[in-house]
C-alpha cells in the first residue's frame, strides 16, 4: 500500500514539475520557429525586430554577386539613429577566437604535427 502511495505522489510531483517548466520555455523563439519564414531577407530582418531585437544588420555574400546588406531597427535607440550596414558596434563575440584556437590545436595534436617548445 505504501509503494502505491509513493508512486502516486511522485507522479503528481512530476506532472506539476512538467507544467511548471513551461514557464521557462522561450516562447518567442518557439513562435519564430513554427511560423513560416518570410520570402525575402529584408522581411526576415524586419520580423526579427518585431521579436524584440533592438537592431540587426545582415551581410550576404554569394559567389559571383556583389555583397548585399540588410538592416532594420535601431543602431542607437536613445538618439533615434536607425541601423545602417556600415555601423560599427562595441560588442563582439570574442569567444569565437578562443574556440578557433582550441579547435586548431586539437587538430594539430590529432595529426601529430604539433611541435612542443
Domain limits of the chain?
1-35
Q: What is the pLDDT of residue 91?
A: 60
Q: What is the pLDDT of residue 113?
A: 58
Phi and psi (nearest 5°) for 30? -65, -45
Phi and psi (nearest 5°) for 76? -140, 100
| Cα–Cα distance measured from residue 40 to residue 51, given in angstroms and rounded to the nearest whole number | 17
Phi and psi (nearest 5°) for 17? -65, -40
| Concatenated DSSP letters of 86-103 | T---S---THHHHHHHHH
Q: What is the pLDDT of residue 44?
A: 85
Query: For every one of its 117 residues, what pLDDT tens digit does the chain have, with 9 covering 90 and above?
Result: 688 899 999 999 999 999 998 888 888 778 777 888 788 989 888 888 887 788 888 888 888 999 899 999 888 888 988 988 887 766 666 777 788 888 888 888 777 655 555
Q: What is the pLDDT of residue 61?
A: 87
Q: What is the pLDDT of residue 62?
A: 87
Please tell me the pTM assigned to this model.
Answer: 0.47
Q: Which residues contact residue 97 at a Cβ distance below 8 angstroms, ignoring those fewer than 6 apart?
A: none
Amino acid at each position: 500500500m505504501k509503494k502505491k502511495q509513493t508512486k502516486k505522489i511522485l507522479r503528481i510531483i512530476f506532472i506539476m514539475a512538467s507544467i511548471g517548466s513551461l514557464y521557462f520555455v522561450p516562447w518567442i523563439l518557439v513562435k519564430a520557429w513554427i511560423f513560416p519564414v518570410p520570402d525575402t531577407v529584408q522581411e526576415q530582418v524586419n520580423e526579427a525586430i518585431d521579436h524584440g531585437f533592438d537592431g540587426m544588420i545582415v551581410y550576404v555574400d554569394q559567389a559571383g554577386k556583389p555583397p548585399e546588406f540588410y538592416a532594420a531597427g535601431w543602431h542607437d535607440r536613445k538618439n533615434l539613429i536607425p541601423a545602417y550596414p556600415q555601423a560599427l558596434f562595441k560588442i563582439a563575440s570574442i569567444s569565437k577566437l578562443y574556440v578557433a584556437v582550441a579547435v586548431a590545436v586539437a587538430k594539430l595534436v590529432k595529426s601529430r604535427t604539433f611541435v612542443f617548445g
